């Protein structure tokens, strides 16, 4: 494909940038309406208990208290889109029954005229609990038969997949590596706390909800179901959002339902905003996993078998627990062509804060284990890890056995080669650098992540484009932008196809009354799935413009092209009309037409293409303190086509920093169900002074099913960072860490043990 | 609740305000004056999202009481641009792709603003140290640091 694009591949500034740098951008936390009430939750102080009595009479007597809703009143709601089409939905309630299942589980909500009144009212409520035995350890959850966290038991889900014959595969192996890995309960820590919403129920029966959600149309469906409203009576608007990373894919549906319920009671707007502490302690986090892995390989470096057993801990509730464990399976199996594979995953409930979607969606956990195993094998057989990966990765033209899809683009080899050259891999890998105190090392890890969820979910996307009479255009899409820049990227795609300048395309905010159905922003899907919808809608509009132009240019539409804002006869460029003039004619001047060109498209993406990446991490390990310093990440990702290269680099660097956090500093600490570090002092995300140099490298493999060849990037950029760092630590020190996050204590202990 | 009258110059305009002794400056700015550009990310002085300038210095509006700002000159993100002309810091954050979700951006820019006032020619380490109080979960900091350096250069050029 020759790159003569006018808008695609250019680093346009984000269309909402000026609003963000001037403070004009309104986030859900900034919204205030007349007569607005403030709502808040009373949360359970117990990890597992039965609510026997809630006494709200004292609170209700306060003058400013307008409505109270307990778990007994609020309608139940299905938590996961997937279940809307299955019979299992009743098990997936979020606002529960009379059982509390983690410390922080909501028991009731109050709406009051001021924040002070709300605080006072909440303090006057008394709740009686009958304590139940709590289960904290996922292994206990597995075996415990007397205590059931949910009616169906403590096992939420099981999945198995096997192909080939692992037994034979291990027999054919010269070496077998077996280890157990543990990963931490990472938090999204988006700067705007998760969980802010304003609901306004009007007397005409229409509900409007402003919510910082990633999934506006899911929210619309849940709300309609919970409140018994038809979909046209539920309007969900997503204002600016202060980061999401998967955190706004789950828990907030419960919040939206509560606010809406309170608003219906009072016919006043009701706002609820979680505090940072609530965000840390009561919203979803990454599933901690125990991963047992046995991998076999020949001396020549052919991986012959992999056997994986995962125990995933979803906490008190599950929203994405099926998707997350399935992603461990599909990314693990998809990356390498290992002929004999056995995967078994079990998800259990425990009495801890619930888990959900977080950037990478199971993949970072799986990748840490599998990429550690591959690295160990490389060391054992004395092979360069890069060579081992190149020997075994699943190539273009091969079948992905989980997704059942042909791999149409895979730029992994190029990622590896470019990254290796740029960081000086070969030389650094051979050299044992540093001194006795500070040891230096370099490590490598690769990854595959799926774009979108077309093989797993009902995953629709849609777009509408209206061409105005002055030749500008308005694009309507519900592809919620959480900061990645979807709206900008989608405008670029529309601009490219319509031949209308980027600056002349406006993109609507996400509003279910206006923007057509979209599955939301998850699974790195918007450049690809959103991009396809916008591409198709733009092609529809384009064809309509060409059809109209026939009349004025007196040539068939198939003889016309669009270039620089003009519709031109291919063989006779002098015969042309500007889009603006054409729109003037057909909308206003030509009374025989009087029509606006409107393009639209809706549907599911044709595939779920994998995008790939290689991270080279360079570290220094202080053998006396155990401290690890990441010196540099060289991160090369195959994104198909970078529609906006600056934004792709932004995702690679931002994901890289989040990945370093996952490797070294992040994770909720729990004791008896209490979260010990629900703040930014004790839960350490990286700060500007901590960051190493990060070199983002873009590889473009041109995905044939993607818009202009594009596929995803958002999640993948953090997936293989922790494994690359762990591999680098091993290169530096010879010790293998199997638990995230990697602390100085662990390193010191491992060094001691290895002596 | 005991109330007090205070006055404050916010972005060049004097405001007479009635506040309680407990009112935090961030709430007075956001809820009373309606300047919601200043963000709250933690309310505990840990994230820097609420950074404003008070008498030229970067302070955290979530940790200050409104009564402590009595008589003060306050600049918030809304006070930086001149009509439709953006401040060099605002421009640099856009051109350097230093903005993703934008929730940390007002705080970052105001931290940079106070820094450049004190030190018109900061080096990279100085900027990194200054922004260390401002958490950002999206960008990975590299671009915001570059943006502050670029804006400082731009402002020095303008003065010359
Ligand atoms: S809100 Fe003030 S420091 Fe976080
Ligand atoms: S841009 Fe999102 S927190 Fe900084």
Place of tokens 């990037």: A713
Partners of B82 in the β-ladder: B85
Does residue A78 or residue A31 have the better pLDDT? A31
C-alpha–C-alpha distance, residues A456 and A479, integer Å: 19
Does the CB atom of residue B137 touch ligand 2 within 6 A? yes
CA-based nearest residue in chain A for residue B88: A21
* Mean pLDDT within B44-63: 98
Share of chain A above pLDDT 90, in %: 85
Q: What integer is the mean pLDDT of A532-552?
A: 97
Q: Per the CB < 8 Å rule, is B99 touching A27?
A: no
Confidence check: pLDDT of A331 > 90: yes
Residue A462 main-chain phi, psi, to 5 deg: -150, 165
Mean pLDDT, range A49-54, rounded to an integer: 95
Task: Give the distance, in angstroms, between the CA of residue A457 and the centroid of all CA atoms in the same chain.
Answer: 15
**A498, A538 contact by CB (below 8 A):** yes
Q: Beta strands A566-569 and A572-578: pairing type? A: antiparallel
Residue A376: what pLDDT?
98
pLDDT band for position A572 (cuts 50, 70, 90): very high
B111 contact A CB<8A: no
SS3 A232: helix
Structure confidence at residue A296 as a pLDDT band (50, 70, 90): very high
Q: Is B137 close to A245, i.e. CB distance below 8 A?
A: yes
Name the nearest CA neighbour of A253 among A31, A104, A81.
A81
Structure-block tokens of residue B65: 């009481």
A239 at B interface, C-beta within 8 A: no
Does the predicted interface ipTM exceed a cut of 0.90?
yes
CB atoms B86 and A276 under 8 Å: no
Is residue A264 predicted with pLDDT exceeding 80? yes
Can you read off the two tokens belonging to residue A581? 């003039």
Predicted pLDDT of residue A517: 93
Give A603's strand partners: A461
Has residue A253 got a pLDDT over 70? Answer: no
User: Would the pLDDT of A225 be above 90?
Assistant: no
Helix, strand or coil for residue A28? helix
- Please report, for residues A269, A386, A395, A612, the alpha-carbon distance to residue A414 in angstroms, rounded to integers and kept in the order given: 54, 12, 12, 10
Q: Decide: B4 and B21 in contact? Cβ < 8 Å.
A: yes
Cβ atoms of A240 and A183 closer than 8 Å: no
The three-class DSSP label of residue A246 is coil
Q: Is the pLDDT of residue A91 over 50?
A: no
- In CATH, what number does B88-159 get? 1.10.150.120
Mean predicted confidence (pLDDT) in A462-489: 94
CB-based contact A110:A121 (threshold 8 Å): yes
Tens digit of pLDDT for each residue in A418-456? 999 999 999 999 887 888 899 999 999 999 999 998 888
| Chain B contact set for A242 (CB, 8 A) | 39, 41, 101-104
Average pLDDT of span A720-741: 97
Q: Tell me what the pLDDT averaged over chain A comes to.
A: 94
Of A533, A496, A475, A485, nearest to A8 by C-alpha is A496
What 3-state DSSP class applies to B146?
Answer: helix
Above 50 in pLDDT, residue A1?
A: no
Containing H/E element for A304? strand A303-313
Q: What is the pLDDT of residues A142-154, one digit of tens each?
A: 999 999 999 889 9
In sequence order, which residues have a C-beta less than 8 Å from that of residue B159 and are 6 or more positions away?
A: B120
* A498: CB partners within 8 A, 6+ apart: A465, A467, A473, A505, A538, A541, A542, A545, A562, A579
Residue A84 pLDDT exceeds 80: no
The predicted pLDDT at position B118 comes to 96
Walk me through the domains of chain A, giving residue ranges and CATH numbers: 31-132+195-243+248-282 (3.90.1170.50), 289-454+607-754 (3.30.365.10), 460-603 (3.30.365.10)
A681 and B46: CB-CB below 8 Å?
A: yes
Residue A455 confidence (pLDDT): 82
Q: DSSP assignment of A86-130, as one string? A: SGGGGGGBSS-SSEE-STT-EEEEEEESSHHHHHHHHHH-EEEEE
Answer for the pair A753, A733: CB distance below 8 angstroms, yes or no: no
Band (pLDDT 50/70/90 cuts) for residue A593 is confident
| Strand, coil or helix: A471 | coil
Q: CB A167: neighbour CB atoms within 10 A?
A: 11
Q: Is B106 in the pocket of ligand 1 (CB under 6 A)?
A: no
Looking at residue A30, the DSSP 8-state letter turns out to be G
Query: Is pLDDT above 80 for A624?
Result: yes
In this structure, are residues A242 and A483 in contact, taking their beta carbons and an 8 Å threshold? yes
Angle formed at CA A349 by CA A343 and CA A350, multiple of 5 degrees: 125
pLDDT in tens, A353-374: 999 999 999 999 999 999 999 9
Q: What is the CA radius of gyration of chain B?
A: 16
Name B105's bridge partners. none
Q: Is B21 on the interface with A (CB under 8 A)?
A: no
Helix (H) and strand (E) counts in chain B: 5, 5
Residues 6+ apart with CB under 8 A from A263: A37, A111, A199, A200, A201, A207, A269, A270
Output the six-digit token pair for A210: 């402003």
pLDDT over threshold 90, residue A2: no
Tell whether omega for the bond before A347 is within 30 degrees of 0, i.e. cis.
Answer: no
Average pLDDT for A479-492: 93
Q: How many CB pairs below 8 Å do chains A and B form together?
A: 169
In chain B, the residue whose alpha carbon lies closest to the alpha carbon of A686 is B135
Percent of chain A surpassing pLDDT 70:
96
pLDDT at A92: 46
* pLDDT score, position A151: 86
Q: Any CB–CB contact under 8 A between A30 and chain B? A: yes
Is the omega angle on the peptide bond into residue A741 within 30 degrees of 0, that is, cis?
Answer: yes
Three-state DSSP at A255 gives helix
Task: Please tell me if the CB atom of residue B58 comes closer than 6 angstroms to any atom of ligand 1.
Answer: no
* Interval A642-694: pLDDT, tens: 999 999 999 999 999 999 999 999 999 999 999 999 999 999 999 999 999 99
Residue B29 is predicted with a pLDDT of 98
Distance between CA atoms of A22 and A396, rounded to whole angstroms?
Answer: 46
Cα distance from A749 to chain B (closest Cα, Å)? 31
**Residue A361 CB-half CA count within 13 A:** 28
A709 touches chain B (CB under 8 A): no
Q: Give dist(CA A154, CA A536) in Å, integer.
A: 45
The string of DSSP letters for A164-180 reads S-HHHHHHT-SEEEEEE
Assigned token pair, A77: 């709601």
Options 3.10.20.30, 3.40.50.720, 1.20.140.10, 3.30.2130.10; CATH of B3-79: 3.10.20.30
Is the pLDDT at A87 greater than 50? The verdict is no
Domain boundaries, chain B: 3-79, 88-159
DSSP code at position A150: B
Interstrand relation of B13-20 and B51-54 (parallel, antiparallel or unpaired) = unpaired
Cα(A714)–Cα(A255) distance, integer angstroms: 26
Determine the pLDDT at residue A480: 84
Helices A363-381 and A321-335 pack at an angle, to 10 degrees, of: 30
Q: What are phi and psi of B108, to 5 degrees?
A: -60, -50
Angle CA(A315)–CA(A745)–CA(A657) in degrees, nearest 5? 65
Q: What DSSP designation does A568 have?
A: E
Name the nearest CA neighbour of B66 among B98, B21, B101.
B21
pLDDT band with cut points at 50, 70 and 90 for residue A158:
very high
Q: Name residue A380's beta-bridge partners.
A: none
What's the CA gap between A309 and A291, in Å, rounded?
6
């Amino acid at each position: 494909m020759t790159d003569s694009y006018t808008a695609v591949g250019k680093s346009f500034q984000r269309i909402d940038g000026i609003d963000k740098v001037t403070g004009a951008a309104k986030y859900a936390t900034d919204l205030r309406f007349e007569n607005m009430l403030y709502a808040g939750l009373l949360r359970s102080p117990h990890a597992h208990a039965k609510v026997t009595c809630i006494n709200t009479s004292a609170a209700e007597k306060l003058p400013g208290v307008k409505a109270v809703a307990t778990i007994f009143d609020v309608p139940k709601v299905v938590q996961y889109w997937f279940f809307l089409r299955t019979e299992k939905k009743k098990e997936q309630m979020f606002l529960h029954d009379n059982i509390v299942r983690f410390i922080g589980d909501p028991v009731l909500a109050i709406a009051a005229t001021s924040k002070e009144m709300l605080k006072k009212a909440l303090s006057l409520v008394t709740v009686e609990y009958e304590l139940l035995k709590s289960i904290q350890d996922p292994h206990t959850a597995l075996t415990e038969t007397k205590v059931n966290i949910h009616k169906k038991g403590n096992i939420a889900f099981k999945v198995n997949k096997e192909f080939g014959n692992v037994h034979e595969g291990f027999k054919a192996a010269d070496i077998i590596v077996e280890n157990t890995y543990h990963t931490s309960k990472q938090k999204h820590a988006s700067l705007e706390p998760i969980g802010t919403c304003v609901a306004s129920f009007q007397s005409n029966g229409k509900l409007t909800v402003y919510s910082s959600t990633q999934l506006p149309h899911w929210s619309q469906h849940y709300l309609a179901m919970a409140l018994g409203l038809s979909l046209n009576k539920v309007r969900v608007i997503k204002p600016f959002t202060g980061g999401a990373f998967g955190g706004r894919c789950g828990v907030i549906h419960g919040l939206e339902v509560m606010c809406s319920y309170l608003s219906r009671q009072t016919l006043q707007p009701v706002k609820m905003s979680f505090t940072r502490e609530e965000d840390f302690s009561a919203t979803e986090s990454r599933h901690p996993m125990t991963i047992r892995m046995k991998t076999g390989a020949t001396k020549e470096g052919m991986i012959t078998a992999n056997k994986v057993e995962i125990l995933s801990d979803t906490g008190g509730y599950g929203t994405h627990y099926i998707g997350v464990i399935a992603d461990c399976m599909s990314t693990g199996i998809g990356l390498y062509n290992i002929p004999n594979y056995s995967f078994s995953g079990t998800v259990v409930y425990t009495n801890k804060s619930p888990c959900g979607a977080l950037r990478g969606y199971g993949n970072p956990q799986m990748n840490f284990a599998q990429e550690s195993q591959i690295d160990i094998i490389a060391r054992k057989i004395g092979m360069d890890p890069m060579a081992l990966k190149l020997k075994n990765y699943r190539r273009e033209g091969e079948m992905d056995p989980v997704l059942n899809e042909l791999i149409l683009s895979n730029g992994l080899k190029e990622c590896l080669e470019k990254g290796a050259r740029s960081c000086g891999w070969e030389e650094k890998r051979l050299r044992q650098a540093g001194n006795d105190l500070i040891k230096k090392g370099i490590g490598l890890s690769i990854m595959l992540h799926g774009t979108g969820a077309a093989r797993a979910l009902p995953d629709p996307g849609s777009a509408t484009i209206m061409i105005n009479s002055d030749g500008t255009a308005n694009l309507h899409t519900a592809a919620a932008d959480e900061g990645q820049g979807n709206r900008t990227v989608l405008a670029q795609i529309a601009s490219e196809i319509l031949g209308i300048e980027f600056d002349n395309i406006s993109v609507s905010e996400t509003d279910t009354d206006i923007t057509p159905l979209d599955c939301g922003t998850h699974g790195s899907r918007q450049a690809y799935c959103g991009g396809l919808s916008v591409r198709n809608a733009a092609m529809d509009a384009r064809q309509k413009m060409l059809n109209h132009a026939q009349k004025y240019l007196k040539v068939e539409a198939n003889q016309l092209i669009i270039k620089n804002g003009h519709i031109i006869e291919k063989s006779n460029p002098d015969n042309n009309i500007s889009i603006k003039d054409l729109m003037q004619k057909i909308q206003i001047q030509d009374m025989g037409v009087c029509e606006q060109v409107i393009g639209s498209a809706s549907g599911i993406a044709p595939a779920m293409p994998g995008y790939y990446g290689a991270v080279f991490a360079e570290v220094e390990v202080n053998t006396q303190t155990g401290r690890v310093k990441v010196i540099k990440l060289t991160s090369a990702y195959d994104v198909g086509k970078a529609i906006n290269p600056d934004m792709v680099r932004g995702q690679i660097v931002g994901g890289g920093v989040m990945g370093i956090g996952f490797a070294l500093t992040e994770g909720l600490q729990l004791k008896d169900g209490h979260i010990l570090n629900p703040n930014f002092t004790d839960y350490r995300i990286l700060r500007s002074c901590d960051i190493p140099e990060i070199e983002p490298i873009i590889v473009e493999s041109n995905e044939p099913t993607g818009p202009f060849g594009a596929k995803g990037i958002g999640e993948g950029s953090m997936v293989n960072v922790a494994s690359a760092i762990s591999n680098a630590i091993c290169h530096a020190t010879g010790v293998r860490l199997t638990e995230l996050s990697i602390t100085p204590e662990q390193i010191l202990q491992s060094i001691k043990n290895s002596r | 609740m005991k109330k007090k009258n205070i006055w404050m110059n916010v972005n060049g305009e004097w405001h007479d305000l009635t506040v309680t002794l407990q009112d935090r400056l961030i709430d007075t700015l956001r809820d009373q004056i309606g300047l919601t550009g200043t963000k709250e990310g933690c309310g505990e002085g840990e994230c820097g999202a609420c950074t404003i300038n008070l008498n030229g210095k970067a302070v955290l509006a979530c940790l200050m009481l409104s009564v402590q700002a009595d008589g003060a000159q306050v600049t918030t993100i809304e006070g930086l641009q001149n009509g439709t002309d953006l401040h060099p810091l605002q421009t640099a954050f856009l051109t350097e792709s230093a903005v993703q979700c934008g929730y940390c951006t007002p705080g970052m820019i105001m931290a940079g603003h106070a820094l450049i006032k004190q030190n018109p020619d900061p080096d990279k380490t100085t900027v990194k140290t200054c922004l260390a109080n401002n958490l950002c979960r999206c960008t990975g900091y590299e671009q915001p640091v570059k943006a502050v350096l670029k804006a400082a250069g731009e402002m020095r050029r303008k003065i010359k």
